[in-house]
Structure 1
């Protein structure tokens, strides 16, 4: 390593460690309160994390000898251990950046990716082609007018820019674009109130005759590389689950060491000598470790596919998709199981509402409903039996 880089890297590591500690310190209180985490989002921006996925040619940190998806996902996972809602926000920031990198023209990429670095934009997500309530009407000049609503718009509240998909009723196809969040006719509703992931700013956005200029329309190429956006997004979710499993394990350990007592029939004097407690922590560790290893494998395969650029073939892309499904299945289960086993390990006193230790299970439960586990298992099982690889879809 270049010695001149060491002080800078140490400074970045120190800022990141301080950020994690700050997020962990008030995560329970913020989870109970819900709403918009403006101060914490500012801390994330100040830590230099908004541009992690922006290519180096535009002033960011991604590509070349810099950051790869493996490092991006490691960052998301580390934040998810202490606050999966804000890890979700940051992960979707990276997803919108990847969307522009994959679907944008050279001029669009230069404009919006450099703008992300120069203006420290937070990006919101209003891309969900399954939600066809938002309608696009051509304006006759290569642009569109948007009318309707979009739900589950992660990160839009408090954002400066957003990606959006709308339904073209004339063709039945989606229209993808980038618009400033403050554009006339856009209203971001603060109506996100789920049982978990309560600070992801994922409410509804309404569009009233919103202008989309021709230069703002994204042209999604019909290539395997263009479909990597789906895999980037699934990698974000996969690593949220891994982080949740690891975070639940860490919180359970900390609680037991500080407050635990051996069960009356254990025959030991110290809680850490309780054999059944040891077994429980062993199970949690094995599950979270298996999820992490498979997630790392999938990220490495994504790195390789990304590096192929436009030469990426459909078969290689499908192999990455399969690996992500395999990892996501295990991570899905590990996150839910760890959130449940936390209480078996910690006991009744850990159920105090102010502690909000149930947030690990609640956050995992909300996010693991993003797409059905059964269909991922079907894809994996079909591949085992027939060697058939998954086709690109909105979720694979």
Structure 2
């Protein structure tokens, strides 16, 4: 077992996360300007041992709760939400193995992840059906392209989905990123989340062995299996919340230490201006409900995840409701705080060398992942007649 994994099993993962975040923060502004692949920083994440955080102890991992995983994502996102995204989506792929995979697949893939310090990426995008799976005797052949493949550049293994036209349904499987015919393209060019390695992956006659298929086309998902979308949604929630917390702290520090009081305020320090204090109170009232709702949703998800095959549809629905509440609040906090911070910090805070704009750009790009209006609609339905969200890859 790698030394980093042994350290994680005996050390506080939150302490490790804070130390890692501090290192990422030293280069976050420069790397945000540069974009591209953060190879050195991903190596720091790998070396921290935190890649094994969610893997059960029976497979050599730390066996941490989802509450702990989300806390680590939030800590990293305060410093660098792009790499927090890559880290979070690594654990999303591991959750998929646990939720979809057989006992043999779990043991093989999760044990290998610990032993070889594997970094997982995503090529599953369920709305992109351009990758086609053709069945044959010992598995499938994959041809096509997948967009928004988070963490694919630099990944060791990928989770993939592909559309089986004969079955009229998708399969889910896993593959080494260097498998013959897999082409990972570093072409992500959004104006935020610039180092999430979320470009396209092409599949050119790729062989997917049957033993690496986690879910066959048309296989009806159980309530347990549909938890993957909830794991994903709460990863995003905690990314948005981490961005909000990071923006709030950056603004608070700048206001206290560098901002100049407006001449008409009658005070010497900007932080003593009653109007500034009032505005910070408003931002605090965005932040705190999002924090509390996110913690609550994480606790429900952890409980549901540990229920395993015994999880019921109503229990799963309760997780989805809590997750929608948390995501809507974190979405709002991330967008509003990262925008309003400039009205409080002042014109000098727009200096490019400070890089405060990255908070808004990262929040704006990532919160477009799936429409927040549909989360709020789900909550409205639930409030009106108790209808639970229908399980989909996004709800």
Q: TM-score, normalised by structure 1?
A: 0.95
Question: Does the 8 Å CA contact 1:103/1:221 hold for their aligned counterparts?
Answer: no
Specify which of 149, 156, 160 is matched with residue 164 of structure 1.
Answer: 160
In the alignment, structure 1 segments of 5+ residues that lack a partner are none
1: CA distance, partners of 2:300 / 2:59: 25
| Distance in 1, Cα, partners of 2:379 & 2:9 | 43
Q: Is residue 338 from structure 1 mapped to residue 369 from structure 2 by the alignment?
A: no
2:30 aligns to what SS in structure 1? helix
Tell me if the contact between 1:58 and 1:114 (Cα under 8 Å) persists in the aligned partners.
Answer: yes
Residue 131 of structure 2 corresponds to 134
- Residue 207 of structure 2 corresponds to 211
Q: How do residues 329-368 of structure 1 correspond to structure 2 at under 5 angstroms?
A: 329-368=328-367
Mapping for residues 1-396 of structure 1, pairs under 5 Å: 14-62=15-63, 67-138=64-135, 140-219=136-215, 222-396=221-395
Give the C-alpha shift of residue 107 in structure 1. Answer: 1.3
The answer to whether the 8 Å contact 2:174/2:212 transfers is yes
Change (3 A) 1:343 1:146: same
**For each residue in 1:123-161, what CA deviation from the matched residue of structure 2 results, as whole angstroms up to 9, or x when unmatched?**
0100012101111111x2230111111100000100000
Deviations 1:154-178 (A, max 9, x none): 0010000000001111122001111
Q: Measure how far apart 1:18 and its partner are.
A: 2.3
| CA deviation vs aligned residue, 1:95-139 (integer Å, no higher than 9, x gap) | 00000011111111111100100001100100012101111111x
User: TM-score scaled to structure 2, two decimals?
Assistant: 0.95
- Checking the alignment, whether the CA contact within 8 Å between 2:14 and 2:71 is kept in structure 1 is no
Shift of 1:17: 2.8
Runs of 4+ in structure 1 over 4 Å off: 5-14
In 2, the alpha carbon distance for the partners of 1:190 and 1:6 equals: 33
CA distance 1:254–1:181, shift in 2 (3 Å): same
Structure 2 residues not aligned, in runs of 5+: 1-5
